[in-house]
Each structure stands twice: as C-alpha cells, then as structure tokens.
Amino acid sequence: MPTLTKTTQSIKAKNIERDWHLFDAKKVVLGRFITDVAARLIGKHKTQYSTHLDVGDNVVVINAQETRVTGRKAQQKIYTRYSGYPGGLKEVSYERLKQKDSRKIIENAVSGMLPKNKLRKQRMRRLHVYSNDQHPFGGKFTK
C-alpha cells in the first residue's frame, strides 16, 4: 500500500520564464516609481517567488532624464563614491548627476532597493535604463 506524503514543488532555475516590462519615468517621483521597478526585478509579483532563486523579470526604463524628486532633494541629495585611495572620495549632487548621466540616478536608486546578496548583480544586469524614449527592445513586450 503506497503512503501519501505531502511535498511542495519548488521551481528550478531552468524553468524560470522572464517577461519584459516597460516603465516610463516621465514626470514621476523617483522613489515611488523605483519600488515597482525593484519588485519586478526581484520577482515578488510572481507566484513561484523564492528567496534563493533569481525569478525576476527584465525591466526597461525610458525617459530617465525626466524623473523628479520632492522637496529640496534636487539641491541637497549627494551621491558619493570612494575609490579606496587617499583623497578618492567623489561627491556629486542630484542636479549635476542628472545633467551628466541621468541613467545613473535610476541605477543607484534601484541598486539601493535590491537585497544586498549574491543575486543583486544578476538582477541589475536585467535593468536597462535609457535617457530618452528610444530603446532596442521594441518587440519584446507582451503586455
């Protein structure tokens, strides 16, 4: 007589299906918009979400040049990076970084909202940010 056991099926890495999502950053508040982008990269919207697998989707963000922040963050927010050498601390304001390379603002914000683990780099590779509305992924969006 066979015994009945309850087992939970877990998704395998080879069975993960990735969709493509297009986000328009025109005239949206940066933080509220980035939470949706990060959730799609992580895969929390999927029923087969698992913390140890990268089940997230591909995300394309267009019009990065036209994002906005609330309050006085445009003047006060400072992005820092450090080379590791003495005197190697570099600081740039939000306004200056937006003029220089607006894609970096969205990439930094998304990276800060992703979990700090081994899957972070894989998830960031699936984020594609463009300053205007031109991108090479036109036929990949299903929705």
pLDDT tens readout for residues 121-143: 999 999 999 999 999 998 898 76
Q: What is the CATH number of domain 18-70+101-134?
A: 3.90.1180.10
Residue 87: how many CA atoms within 13 Å on its side-chain side?
Answer: 0
pLDDT digits (tens, 9 = 90+) for 93-116: 999 999 999 999 999 999 999 999
* 19: three-class secondary structure by DSSP: coil
Cα gap 141→135, rounded to integer Å? 12
Using a CB cutoff of 8 Å and minimum separation of 24, what contacts does 32-36 make? 33/67, 34/106, 34/109, 34/110, 34/113, 35/113
Tell me the average pLDDT across 57-67: 96
DSSP 29: B
Q: What is the pTM of this model?
A: 0.89
Q: Is the per-residue pLDDT at 15 higher than 80?
A: yes
Q: What percent of the chain lies above the pLDDT cut of 90?
A: 85
The secondary element (H helix, E strand) that includes residue 94 is helix 94-100
pLDDT digits (tens, 9 = 90+) for 19-37: 999 999 999 999 999 999 9
